[in-house]
Amino acid sequence: ARCFGPMGVEVSTALAWLSMGLYFIAICSSVILASDVYGVPDELLIQHLASSRALYSVPMVTPGIGIFLMACAYGVDLGERNGCAWGYTVGLPTAPLFPLAVVLFMVYVRSRRKRLNLLPAPDGSPSGERYGMNLGQAYFTTWQDRVPVATSKPTKSSQ
């Protein structure tokens, strides 16, 4: 323990365990949400998913936070093993680069989905208009983009 002493080792360990806990939550919530989908009838599935957007984002958000915390834990650990100069100049400053790489990849994939809106449909119109979709809007719950866009508001007589 060279930089922060025993407290640095404890901080590194706590960050690593918190990170692993987030991975555990991601895995367990994925299994729970998969079983939730199996229990919803097909005719209610889109409505159920649309009303549960934040809930269905949990398995996608928690690993990103876990990656950041694990990178911070390694940054602190690097300082404890090799001295403060390494911890402050290499370890902790590079910690945000790992989740940043994941976010940039996610933005790139989203932009590729967004381009699908511009592809021509069989009738020559843009695909997004033809199929009532606006792809490339969501970051985490990408199935939300596939929910048809309402063309008009329901009236009292149609309800």
pLDDT in tens, 28-48: 999 999 999 898 998 888 888
pLDDT-derived band at 100 (thresholds 50, 70, 90) equals: confident
- Statement: residue 113 has pLDDT above 80: yes
| CA 133 to chain CA mean position, Å | 21
Instruction: Taking each helix axis as running N to C, give the angle between helix 53-82 and helix 42-50, from 0 to 180 degrees, rounded to the nearest 10.
Output: 50
Give the 3-state secondary structure percentages of the chain, helix then strand then coil, rounded to 5. Answer: 75, 0, 25
Q: How far apart are alpha carbons 2 and 146 in whole angstroms?
A: 53
Residue 62 reports pLDDT greater than 90: yes
Distance set, CA 104 to CA 85, 98, 114, 139 (Å): 29, 10, 15, 11
pTM for the full predicted model = 0.71
Dist CA 99 CA 105 (whole Å): 10
> Mean pLDDT, to the nearest integer, of 12-19?
95
Residue 147's pLDDT is what? 65
Residue 155 has pLDDT above 90, yes or no: no
Residues 54 and 47: their CA atoms lie apart, in Å, by: 14
Higher pLDDT, 148 or 141: 141
Question: What is the arithmetic mean of pLDDT over 65-76?
Answer: 89
